[in-house]
């Protein structure tokens, strides 16, 4: 049942606003192109590697977003007597002040011969110095097929955990998870313990347990692995756990959780997420994981997989909560403590439409595809995400151009230098054919030049036709090579002010339920009524976060007891300025923002993604859905006060008017006016809370008038009635 608001005259001052804003960083998935990703943060850099197939390669950057433009550097290629085929899933660890890379590879052209190998580097920088091939790492009592090795450091002892087989030297399904203790970084003590086999009903599509990784927290060790075949959409994560004061070589000390902890999200075309790795934020305060997923709904174990990252939160029972895969192309708040993103000239970082001068049509991803290799052409402006582009400066003076639809970047096919080479969408890989410069040509237009070829983006001869293709060509200074950038404002950082906050999912406003002024009052969504219970003062706290204060009560949005639980309610409370009252408000594209609580790392969310008025506002794991995205529209506090005073005054003056009656009130389809009207022309006008005219009726009647209000949006209004003898105003509610 709807609730009905009164208009209040209370206007609470928002308090002093900080002038300086420390903008929290952001990034967009995918962050790179490799499967089986590994990320670690060390001495100011993220180091990233993954499966290349023929060598060990690495890239580094100061930010996750920066990894997209970082070149892939080969750090090891095989030599004589070393494995030559199928270089899979490298992982890098710092042990005794040296770097070690563990990877899987084969000496033959058959994956049936896969084993695990070790590299060592004494340099403090893993991308300098020399990577020395140590030897194969294996259990001497069970020299069998083995992949996906990782290291657990527990109570001063290192343990090696991997995916292997039961008894055949060559692969014999099912794949299982084993553990052995290590006598040094490249040698296992004899003997292994079986920790997990694919025995649960949801993990036997392909008979695979692989990709084990460990994270420690809250006195426990969590071993998270990938289950099912990577070629299936059922590829997902399962978990074992153990108290960290127990012996990990005793299988009885481990508990296997009965349900998957991370799996496909068809609503954002993220299938088969898995083969992950854990890392911490630069300041060490947050836990994150990187994983690969594909857009292929049937699953895939091929180059369609890309690397994505998102934050881990922790449940009340101490277990990790991985949420669900976040939509690619959606901005997320970057890990805490990241360096600033590079700024570019002449174009500011932001989200734009890129409009062809010759046709006045924007660049468009054909079919709004999120697949690698999708074509790019010009098309009529549809104001859709596949016509919107993140433009981000790189550290080498160029830019990446990323589609808001799917997060892939603009590149020249095969990094060609030829005229008429096609331009497509591809996963970011740091190649020069994915980097662009913007050169002003006058009149607000730019030529966009490839770093790789030095050629210009160009629309093939097609006049003004929809579908005319985007290619590269020698710069000819024609209007098919000139582009206008339309700033969409969606990358503007949040600033202090008074806003109405609108859900993208429901188009309803964030609302102080019942206009309750008490601590603990609930926050819901409701039809916009244009009152101070739906006006929010957004106040910069000077550290990249904001408090959000009700203009009606003067209290701020708050997570009760600083809960870190998904589903915890959002309430209002006295402002203490602690982290559970601070929120990061980050652009997410198309004019919408995510609202992330500083304490919990969870997003402000509409319960059940409901579109109904009255649905509760809670916190939940961020996944980029529409019920977690909000539009901030500035509203005037002065006009609201004037409107409130006018409505209150005119409600009182009706008592001095003749005995007119207005009913029903609240009304739904019709309003009736009855009383002594004297067969004169009657003028009836409906005003909204800002005293703007909404509807007008002119009629002649003796004792009764019927007003049709079916087309009036629900809310609180003033009805002003005037004839030669009477002026009266009434406050009415339309439902």
Q: What is the set of active-site residues?
A: 36, 210
Cα 88 from Cα 301, distance rounded (Å): 12
Cα 693 from Cα 124, distance rounded (Å): 70
Cα 292 from Cα 194, distance rounded (Å): 26
CB 400 within 8 A of CB 392: yes
CB 598 within 8 A of CB 582: yes
Cα 210 from Cα 147, distance rounded (Å): 8
Residue with tokens 């009524």: 529
Cα Rg for the chain, rounded, in angstroms? 31
Query: What backbone phi and psi angles, to 5 degrees, belong to 266?
Result: -65, -25
CA atoms within 13 A on the CB side of 567: 6
Query: What backbone phi and psi angles, to 5 degrees, belong to 357?
Result: -65, -40
CB 403 within 8 A of CB 384: no
CB 26 within 8 A of CB 587: yes
Residue with tokens 């920066």: 66
Strand partners, 670: 708
Cα 552 from Cα 554, distance rounded (Å): 6
Separation of CA 642 from chain center: 40
CB 99 within 8 A of CB 75: no
In sequence order, the 6+-apart residues with CB closer than 8 A to the CB of 110 are none
Instruction: Provide the 10 A C-beta neighbour count for residue 370.
Output: 22
CB 365 within 8 A of CB 372: no
Cα 652 from Cα 249, distance rounded (Å): 80
Exposed / middle / buried, residue 352 (Cβ in 10 Å: 0-12, 13-18, 19+): buried
């Amino acid at each position: 049942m709807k609730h009905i608001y009164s208009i209040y005259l209370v206007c609470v001052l928002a308090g002093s606003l900080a002038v300086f804003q420390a903008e929290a960083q952001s990034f967009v998935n995918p962050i790179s192109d490799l499967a089986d990703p590994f990320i670690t943060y060390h001495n100011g850099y993220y180091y990233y590697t993954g499966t290349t197939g023929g060598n060990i390669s690495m890239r580094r950057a100061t930010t996750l977003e920066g990894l997209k433009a970082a070149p892939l550097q080969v750090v090891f290629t095989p030599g004589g007597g070393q494995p030559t085929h199928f270089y899979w899933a490298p992982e890098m660890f710092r042990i005794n002040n040296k770097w070690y890379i563990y990877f899987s590879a084969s000496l033959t052209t058959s994956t049936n011969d896969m084993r695990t190998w070790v590299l060592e580097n004494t340099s403090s920088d893993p991308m300098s110095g020399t990577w020395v091939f140590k030897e194969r790492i294996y259990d001497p009592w069970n020299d069998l097929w083995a992949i996906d090795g990782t290291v657990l450091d527990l109570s001063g002892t290192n343990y090696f955990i991997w995916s292997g087989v039961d008894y055949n030297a060559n692969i014999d399904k099912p794949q299982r998870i084993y553990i052995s203790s290590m006598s040094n970084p490249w040698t296992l003590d004899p003997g292994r313990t079986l920790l997990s086999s694919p025995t649960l009903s949801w993990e036997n599509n392909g008979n695979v347990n692989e990709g084990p990784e460990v994270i420690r927290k809250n006195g426990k060790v969590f071993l998270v692995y990938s289950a099912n075949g990577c070629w299936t959409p059922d590829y997902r994560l399962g978990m074992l756990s153990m108290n960290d004061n127990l012996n990990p070589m005793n299988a009885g000390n481990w508990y296997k959780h009965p349900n998957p902890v991370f799996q496909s999200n068809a609503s954002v075309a993220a299938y088969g997420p898995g083969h992950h790795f854990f890392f911490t934020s630069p300041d060490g305060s947050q836990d994150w994981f990187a994983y690969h997923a594909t857009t292929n709904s049937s699953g895939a174990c091929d180059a369609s997989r890309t690397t994505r990252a998102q934050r881990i939160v922790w449940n009340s029972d101490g277990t990790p909560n991985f949420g669900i895969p976040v939509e690619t192309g959606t901005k997320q708040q970057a890990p805490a403590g990241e360096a600033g993103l590079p700024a570019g000239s002449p174009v500011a970082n932001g989200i734009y439409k890129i409009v062809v001068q010759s046709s006045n049509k924007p660049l468009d991803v054909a079919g709004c595809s999120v697949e690698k290799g999708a074509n790019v052409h010009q098309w009529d402006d549809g104001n859709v995400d596949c016509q919107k582009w993140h433009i981000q400066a790189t550290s080498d003076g160029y830019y990446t151009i990323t589609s808001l639809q799917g997060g892939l970047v603009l590149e020249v096919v095969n990094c060609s230098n030829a005229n008429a080479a096609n331009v497509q969408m591809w996963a970011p890989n740091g190649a020069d054919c994915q980097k662009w410069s913007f050169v002003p040509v006058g009149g607000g237009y730019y030529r966009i030049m490839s770093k790789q070829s030095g050629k210009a983006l160009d629309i093939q001869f097609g006049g003004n036709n929809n579908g005319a293709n985007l290619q590269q060509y020698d710069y000819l200074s024609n209007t098919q090579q000139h582009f206008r950038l339309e700033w969409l404002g969606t990358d503007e950082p949040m600033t202090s002010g008074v806003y109405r906050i609108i859900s993208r999912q429901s188009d309803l406003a964030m609302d102080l339920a019942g206009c309750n002024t008490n601590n603990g009052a609930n926050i819901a969504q409701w039809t916009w009524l244009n009152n101070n219970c739906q006006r929010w003062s957004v106040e910069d706290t000077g550290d990249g976060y904001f408090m959000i204060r009700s203009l009606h009560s003067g209290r701020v949005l708050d997570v009760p007891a600083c809960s870190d639980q998904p589903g915890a309610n959002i309430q209002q409370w006295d402002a203490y300025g602690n982290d559970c009252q601070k929120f990061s408000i980050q652009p997410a594209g198309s004019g919408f923002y995510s609202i992330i609580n500083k304490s919990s790392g969870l997003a402000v969310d509409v319960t059940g993604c409901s579109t109904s008025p009255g649905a509760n506002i809670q916190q939940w794991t961020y996944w980029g859905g529409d019920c977690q995205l909000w539009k901030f529209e500035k509203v005037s506090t002065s006009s609201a006060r004037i409107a409130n005073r006018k409505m209150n005054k005119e409600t009182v003056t009706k008592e001095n008017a003749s005995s007119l009656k207005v009913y029903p009130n609240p009304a739904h389809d019709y309003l009736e006016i009855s009383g002594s009207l004297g067969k004169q022309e009657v003028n009836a006008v409906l005003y909204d809370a800002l005293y703007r005219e909404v509807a007008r009726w002119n009629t002649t009647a003796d004792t009764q008038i019927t007003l049709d209000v079916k087309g009036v949006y629900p809310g609180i209004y003033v009805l002003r009635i005037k004839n030669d003898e009477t002026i009266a105003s009434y406050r009415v509610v339309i439902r």
